[in-house]
Amino acid sequence: MTTVQEFDLELSFPGATNVVHFDDDQYHSSSTIQRVDFIAEYDEQYLFIEIKDPDTPTAENPAAFVQKLNSGKLVQSLAGKFRDTLFFRSAQGKNDRKVRYLVLLSMNSLDNALLLSKQDELRRAIPIRHADWAEDCAASCIILNFEQWKRQFGNGSLKRISEATA
């Protein structure tokens, strides 16, 4: 099992052959591409993972995050991260498997209706499908909250570090 940490969250990816910390400045040096946080590599697919955690105990300005979410700027940023990451991986020759884009949005105050609305908005902003393309650029694109992530990947796949040590 491969485990990674992003701020106050620890994520586990059972069955992954590798997890790349893709949003690492040392990896990209002076590149200005937008990038997802992690790429989990499996035999049959790549998971592009972006993590947004406004509920972290050390969050500096949660109200600004909510404003960015409501204005659509967050969705545009998420779409750009996916597109640039896909471009980079294609240039690396690492486009031989299906891609699933997963956004973990750990925000307790976010209701399910708004979460689904933002997910639809993200699919359109990327876009996932185009009439001129031979195939979709991603097999799926979903935004999950904390509990949905655990249901999808298992109860032990995600934990808040500060709660585990408290």
Q: Which amino acid is at 22?
A: F
pLDDT at site 7: 87
- Structure tokens that stand for 101 in this block: 């884009």
- Of 8, 6, 15, nearest to 154 by C-alpha is 15
Total-model pTM: 0.92
Q: Is a pLDDT exceeding 90 seen at residue 155?
A: no
Residue 78 has pLDDT above 70, yes or no: yes
Q: What is the pLDDT of residues 14-31, one digit of tens each?
A: 899 999 999 887 776 677
How many CB atoms sit inside 10 A of residue 143's CB? 25
Q: HSE (CB half, 13 Å, CA atoms) of 62?
A: 13
- pLDDT tops 80 at residue 164: no
Angstrom CA distances, 54 to 8, 15, 60, 105, 163, stand at 10, 28, 9, 8, 15
Place of tokens 């509920």: 55
Residue 1, pLDDT > 90, answer no
Q: Output the pLDDT for position 165.
A: 62
Looking at per-residue pLDDT, the higher value among 29 and 111 belongs to 111
* 71 phi/psi in degrees, rounded to 5: -80, -15
Count of CB atoms within 10 A of residue 73's CB?
11
For the stretch 86-95, pLDDT in tens is: 999 999 999 8
